[in-house]
Structure 1
Amino acid sequence: MADTPTRRRTILKRSGIGAGVFVLLIVLLILFWSWDWFIPLVESRASAAIGRNVTIAHLHVRLGRVTRIVADDVEVDGTQQFPDKLAKVKALEIAIEVLPLIRHRDIVIPLIDVRQPAVRILGDSKGNNNFTFETGSGGKSKENQSSSGPQLGVLKIEDGHIHVDDPKFKALADIDVETRGAPDPFVTPLPKNQGEIVADGKGRYAGQPVTLRFVGGAILSLRDKTRPYPIDLQLANGPTHVRLKGTIEQPLTFGGARLSLNFAGPDMSLLYPLTGVPIPQTPPYKVTGQFDYSKSLIAFRDFEGKVGNSDLGGTISAVPARIPTINADLHSRNVDLADLGGFVGSKVPGKADTKTEAQKKAAGAAKSGSVLPDTPINVPKVKAANIHLTYRGSHIENPDVPLDDITARLDIDNGVIDLKQLDFKVGTGRIASSVFIDPDNGMRTKAHADFDHLDLSRIMQATHAFHGQGVLGGKADLVSNGNSVAKIMANGSGGLTLVMSGGGDISALLPDLAGLEIGKAILSAIGMPSRTPVQCFVADLPLKNGIMSTDAFLLQTGEARTVGQGTVNFRDQTIDYSLTTRSTHFSVGSLPGPINITGKLSSPSITPGAEVAARTGAATALGVVLPPLALLPTVQFGVGEAGACRAALSDVQEHPAAHGQAGTRSRAAHHPRHTHH
């Protein structure tokens, strides 16, 4: 067909109409375009990524070399148990550079701007919470994932707020978060100073008021391996203060940390909610050291400080797990044993009485007859962690105790306490002990102690009344259960053996017993001068079901020889004992003879007394009721040959007792039991 002018005009006309329709459609698309059409796609991708439903009210995109995407009113749902929104964000803006994405598929994000974020962290007493995400891959790093990832620039947080409410940790707090000093993200190159993230919070944690202040580098600078990431965290939980300050070279892995950690407060036991490490009560403390962290180990290294009057240093490390493993290697140059009182249930210096009124009444009622502490032994939450501890104290500073140094080795596994070693140096000798406690088995306790060649001059130094020298040896065993010293002794079985060969005067050997002024009364009753020298002392005292009996009790002085028989009942804290004395110079008439000590340990009765015995004279039989040869192995135990005691026992054999009973409450002569030696 010929190309006529009419046909050409028709074609041009149709083409013009088509082009006009296309242009019109473009104009209409521009006029009516809405980025909100893509909201369902963005919501589904975001929800799948974090495992929570994400909603967006509006979506805005400004195209250009740097495309800026803004999502308004972003919300993240909570859980069925915690229906409140986990997070709300007034506006979330992300800037993306287009050319690197097109040319090299590199994701360059110069700016993330989060405006008015509000996060609610909620939990319950059973440990459930609203911030644990259950996704197939969310929150888990992938080994094969590109190590470079997106190139991030500046993160801005404007007017952020975090609310925490978790009854399990007794936590209720509000934290304000914002970015300060953030640079212009579109300046090239980006300034090294990308601002800092600042968080200020207050509320309550573990039942105590809590305040915190955190100042750190900009969050996105965490990925910058060329600059250390700065941290300054200050936390006050009740009277406990913690500060962590320094830098981290590899922030995402916490590698290359140069952080100083400082703890200070009135009592280390208050650290448990912050550290998860159970510690008994202590006096006021302040320690500073280096903190390091990795996925497999948390360490507080080379710290030094003071706990009460004692210095403390060493390293503590923890292997994170559901039940963490704590390894501690501690040391002190000078230690006051009073500062360790919380570990054995005694009063810690400077601690106020926190007993309830009922406890105070019970304690007041017990004062009339009780001399043993009934305060529960402070066994912390031992199942919270497995602990392996060594401790060395080079010098013990306490004028009231005769100890020179201390070495301890402790293991706690699954709540079982195994104090493998608790040794004290005493002059040229040593006290070596061990304790095993199973809290799940009625506080089942096994304890053993050896007293080896103890220097009496060092022991008596604490009495300020020592004259002469000598050696003390022996051992002690105890198997029992109970949560206080009084209950352990009331239920205990075992025994105590002590031998002293040569030594101080009698005033040093029998001071005020258990804090009660009966020592001088006993000396007066048995007719001994307060400063007569002690030549030999032997005691072999078995303990069975809370009752301590006597297999042997001999006291040889420069003036007389005293033999004891009887029992001490720790169940009701009473004593039923007799002491029979004879003069080593045979001046029998000048000595009062046997006496009886009976009644409550707190206030025993001593009869017949010096005056009554003097009237009875020869009518009172004097004697020694123990076979001396059977004691020779006991004498040698812990003191070597013990010549003074050997001589004293030989003298007993050469000058036996008069016939008859040794006192109204004395036991008949019998062979001592030595099966436990």
Structure 2
Amino acid sequence: MKGHRRLKTAGGIVGALVAALIVLILVWQWDWFVPYIDRKATAALHRPVSIAHLHVHLGFKPTITVDDLKIGQPEGFGKEKDDFASAHAITVKVDAWRYLTGGGLSVPLIRVDAPKGDIVSLADGTNNYTFPSASGTSSQTASLSTTLPKLGKIEINDGDVRIAMAKLKTDMHVLIHTVPPKDGDDGHIVIDLEGRYARAPITGHIVGGALLDITDTTHPYPIDGRLANGPTYITLRGTVDDPIHFRGTNLALHFAGPDMALLYPLTGVPIPETPAYSVTGNLAYSDRAIRFQKFEGHMGSSDIGGDINVNPHQKPIFVDAALHSHQVDLADLGGFIGAQPGEAKKAEPASTRVLPDKAINVPKLNAANVHLTYHGDHIRNKNWPLDNIDTELDIHDGAIDLKHLTFATGTGTISANATLEPTKNAQFHTRFRLDVCRLPLSRIMTSKDMFQGEGTIGGHVTLNSTGNSVATLVENGNGGTTLVLDRGGDVTALLPDLLGLKLGSAILSALGIPDRSKLECLVADLPLKNGIVHTDAMLLQTGTTRTSGTGTVNFHKDTLDYAITTRSIGPQILSLPGAVHIFGPINSPTILPGAELIGRVAASVGLGIVFPPAALIPTIQLGVGKGSVCEKAILEANEHPAAGIAPGATTGSGPSSIPHPAHPQTATHPQASHHHLSPAEIHKAWEKKSNPK
């Protein structure tokens, strides 16, 4: 009896437990865990999280479904209309048996219905997508990145993610959905873009392979997309190797648009303004660098090609570009030197300055460090007397180092180098040098009807200054110009055209130089000191005359004050020294011919010049060649003053001082007149003559 009672008691307990289990199964609600899940998720994400229902279907491959997931905005983003993230339903199937038997984590199905997101970054840089990191998160992330679960089918239905970035002036929607497999393929994902990016409208359509294939390291992942951002159009087609780790690409990339500068928001690479372009090349990724390789296309009326490598991991990013053109129009490259590329888009307001005072336009120099090489095989712009172009430059921390910019033209070259270092007040400390060597003068003259001759031009220009335009750089600068022009052809056609002076013909006429005179030599040695050009030497020699000059050009005030004298090379009957004084605004100076002025002033100004052949002849030899007419003219100007008359002989102030071959010491440094008048004295003399009492 006693054993029977014990058995009966045990049976009652078991029965009660079974009954309780049956009742529990009948009334079980997985929603009982919802409050617990909400609390844990809210604490983990630091923003309110809620789900409406939780469904679990048990088995060897249990399926878990969450209905109406909502993740609210974090603190500071309460004004946003939508939740940070939401979904109508999320379903995940897990292979529990495989995991319990040591086969690793496998997820045969992930399905997300109507997911939505609201990704926001404010103007001050704060955003709603940065989550506080817990201790040890980095190490956990590193381990998880190498132990991804085995994924099966991934489905996304009617996804819509809004991305609003204040600094990028961007507010767009990314629409996402997957297409199930059919006709033997694995399915694919489709992404559409709409809205505004960098202030401009953006549309896009991108088709990728199945999401499952993203984790497949044995097969390349296909991509086919097109994107339009304002007037810029981009297409991308090819494959990506191992997209999770991004180990390589084989993509054909095509860019087209009205201006490459508009690519900056899309690429992060600053490019100056350009004319309309269209280029196609291969986009690759290797050695942690993005490479746009073997691209070809056109920019304006020029062809353009080469390789561009970008290292986005450096701060700032590093861009290494090797570019080339077979046929180049220099007007298309205007944006790279701060000018307007191609044809002017709008008329610039007239400036009162002689030199351009428009601020130098450079791209966002601090956005990237750059090494650039460029070679153009043939320059085809009829307005430029140049054959080809070759250049190399570096940009580092906002400073530009133009290592060389070289043009070939006929038998000569034009080469420049410069450094521009930005200052705190948006200016550049600039060091510049231009060298011209044996440049055929006929290549410069645009009108063949006006000029006949095969002269050569050489020399150099240097500048050390601080400013933000050509005008400010010159007016603040030190340096100088040395110019040599050998056998220049028709002087009356050449000088007004070459110098761009409307008053050129008037000056030559005032100097008494006959029409169609043959220019044998022009030498100018003009130092620049604090924005004022001085004259160390000025010599212009035709077949019959020799002209010398002295004076200054003031680029602070855009004025000049010059005295020029022309003398006959050989003695002529009734030949009188003629002086010309040019002064006033450079745009409209006053020209006072000296034929009416007393010989004392003319001779003093005209012959009180000392030419330093020891300093100039090496430059002449470098610029136009040894044994040139200019080399001889410099020596003759020192050894034999114009018309063989020393300064004092025409003024009555002393005996003749005609140099004699037996006295070579007088040939190197002729004596200047003791009666040399300053520009102020010349002004006074002219005022006295023009306004006699």
Deviations 1:295-348 (A, max 9, x none): 821221111121222222111112223411111111222222112222333332
Decide whether the 8 Å contact of 2:429 with 2:466 is kept in 1.
yes
Deviations 1:141-187 (A, max 9, x none): 8665585632212211111111122211111112222112356xxxx
How far apart are residue 270 of structure 1 and its match? 1.7
| Match of residue 237 from structure 2 | 245
Decide whether the 8 Å contact of 2:565 with 2:577 is kept in 1.
no
| Match of residue 674 from structure 1 | none
- Residue 209 of structure 1 pairs with residue 201 of structure 2: yes
**For 2:192 and 2:573, how far apart are their aligned partners in 1?**
84
| Match of residue 415 from structure 1 | 398
Instruction: Check 1:196–1:464 CA distance in 2 against 1; reply closer, same or farther (3 A cut).
Output: farther
**Counterpart mapping for 1:490-501 below 5 A:** 490-501=475-486
Instruction: Check 1:479–1:597 CA distance in 2 against 1; reply closer, same or farther (3 A cut).
Output: same
**Counterpart mapping for 1:107-506 below 5 A:** 107-136=105-134, 147=146, 149-182=148-181, 193-293=185-285, 296-320=288-312, 321-353=314-346, 363-364=349-350, 366-367=351-352, 370-440=353-423, 442-460=427-445, 465-506=450-491
Decide whether the 8 Å contact of 2:550 with 2:609 is kept in 1.
no
| SS class of match (2:624) | coil
How far apart are residue 585 of structure 1 and its match? 4.6
**For 1:253 and 1:152, how far apart are their aligned partners in 2?**
16
Give the AA of the match of 1:570. Answer: F
Deviations 1:161-216 (A, max 9, x none): 11122211111112222112356xxxxxxx96232222222222222222222221
TM-score (structure 2 length as normaliser): 0.85
Give the AA of the match of 2:27. Answer: F
Give the AA of the match of 2:495. Answer: L
| Match of residue 74 from structure 1 | 69
**For 1:588 and 1:270, how far apart are their aligned partners in 2?**
71
Instruction: Check 1:432–1:277 CA distance in 2 against 1; reply closer, same or farther (3 A cut).
Output: same
| SS class of match (2:333) | helix
**For 1:196 and 1:11, how far apart are their aligned partners in 2?**
66
How far apart are residue 126 of structure 1 and its match? 2.3
**For 1:592 and 1:237, how far apart are their aligned partners in 2?**
71
Instruction: Check 1:329–1:75 CA distance in 2 against 1; reply closer, same or farther (3 A cut).
Output: same
**For 2:227 and 2:574, how far apart are their aligned partners in 1?**
76
2:20 to 25, 35, 42: 25
Instruction: Check 1:552–1:59 CA distance in 2 against 1; reply closer, same or farther (3 A cut).
Output: same
| SS class of match (2:321) | strand
| Match of residue 561 from structure 1 | 546
Give the AA of the match of 2:131. Answer: F
| Match of residue 91 from structure 2 | 93
| SS class of match (1:556) | strand
**Counterpart mapping for 1:500-579 below 5 A:** 500-507=485-492, 509-512=494-497, 515-579=500-564
How far apart are residue 265 of structure 1 and its match? 1.6
Deviations 1:449-496 (A, max 9, x none): 222232334334676644232332222110111111111111111100
- Residue 57 of structure 1 pairs with residue 58 of structure 2: no
How far apart are residue 547 of structure 1 and its match? 0.9
The share of aligned pairs that are identical, in percent, is: 44
Instruction: Check 1:437–1:455 CA distance in 2 against 1; reply closer, same or farther (3 A cut).
Output: same
Instruction: Check 1:170–1:514 CA distance in 2 against 1; reply closer, same or farther (3 A cut).
Output: farther
How far apart are residue 665 of structure 1 and its match? 4.6
TM-score (structure 1 length as normaliser): 0.86
Deviations 1:96-129 (A, max 9, x none): 2343233334322222111111100101112221
Decide whether the 8 Å contact of 1:335 with 1:397 is kept in 2.
yes
Decide whether the 8 Å contact of 2:170 with 2:198 is kept in 1.
yes
Instruction: Check 1:42–1:507 CA distance in 2 against 1; reply closer, same or farther (3 A cut).
Output: farther
**For 1:582 and 1:282, how far apart are their aligned partners in 2?**
52
> How many residues are paired up?
642
How far apart are residue 52 of structure 1 and its match? 6.0
Measured on the aligned residues, the alpha-carbon RMSD in Å equals 3.1
Decide whether the 8 Å contact of 1:217 with 1:230 is kept in 2.
yes
How far apart are residue 79 of structure 1 and its match? 2.7
Decide whether the 8 Å contact of 1:159 with 1:177 is kept in 2.
yes
Give the AA of the match of 2:436. Answer: F
Instruction: Check 1:666–1:192 CA distance in 2 against 1; reply closer, same or farther (3 A cut).
Output: farther
**For 1:139 and 1:242, how far apart are their aligned partners in 2?**
36
Decide whether the 8 Å contact of 2:50 with 2:70 is kept in 1.
yes
Decide whether the 8 Å contact of 1:520 with 1:530 is kept in 2.
no
Unaligned segments of structure 1, at least 5 residues = 184-190, 355-359, 669-677
Give the AA of the match of 1:179. Answer: T
| SS class of match (2:434) | strand
How far apart are residue 217 of structure 1 and its match? 1.7
**For 2:45 and 2:280, how far apart are their aligned partners in 1?**
40
How far apart are residue 575 of structure 1 and its match? 2.1
**For 1:412 and 1:667, how far apart are their aligned partners in 2?**
51
Decide whether the 8 Å contact of 1:50 with 1:135 is kept in 2.
no
Give the AA of the match of 1:326. Answer: V
| SS class of match (1:29) | helix
Decide whether the 8 Å contact of 2:47 with 2:75 is kept in 1.
no
Range with bigger deviation, 113-122 or 167-176? 167-176
Decide whether the 8 Å contact of 1:89 with 1:118 is kept in 2.
yes
| Match of residue 37 from structure 1 | 32
Deviations 1:370-409 (A, max 9, x none): 2321111112221111111122222222211222222222
**For 2:108 and 2:40, how far apart are their aligned partners in 1?**
22
Decide whether the 8 Å contact of 1:115 with 1:157 is kept in 2.
yes
Give the AA of the match of 2:321. Answer: A
How far apart are residue 30 of structure 1 and its match? 1.2
**For 1:38 and 1:105, how far apart are their aligned partners in 2?**
29
Deviations 1:419-473 (A, max 9, x none): 1222222222222221111112541111112222323343346766442323322
Decide whether the 8 Å contact of 1:595 with 1:663 is kept in 2.
no
Instruction: Check 1:290–1:53 CA distance in 2 against 1; reply closer, same or farther (3 A cut).
Output: farther
| SS class of match (1:100) | helix
Instruction: Check 1:629–1:438 CA distance in 2 against 1; reply closer, same or farther (3 A cut).
Output: closer
Instruction: Check 1:551–1:218 CA distance in 2 against 1; reply closer, same or farther (3 A cut).
Output: same
Decide whether the 8 Å contact of 1:565 with 1:579 is kept in 2.
yes
How far apart are residue 286 of structure 1 and its match? 1.6
Decide whether the 8 Å contact of 1:125 with 1:168 is kept in 2.
yes
Range with bigger deviation, 629-638 or 235-244? 629-638
**For 1:192 and 1:251, how far apart are their aligned partners in 2?**
23
Deviations 1:32-65 (A, max 9, x none): 1122234466557766876766433321012234
Instruction: Check 1:407–1:560 CA distance in 2 against 1; reply closer, same or farther (3 A cut).
Output: same
**For 2:52 and 2:280, how far apart are their aligned partners in 1?**
50
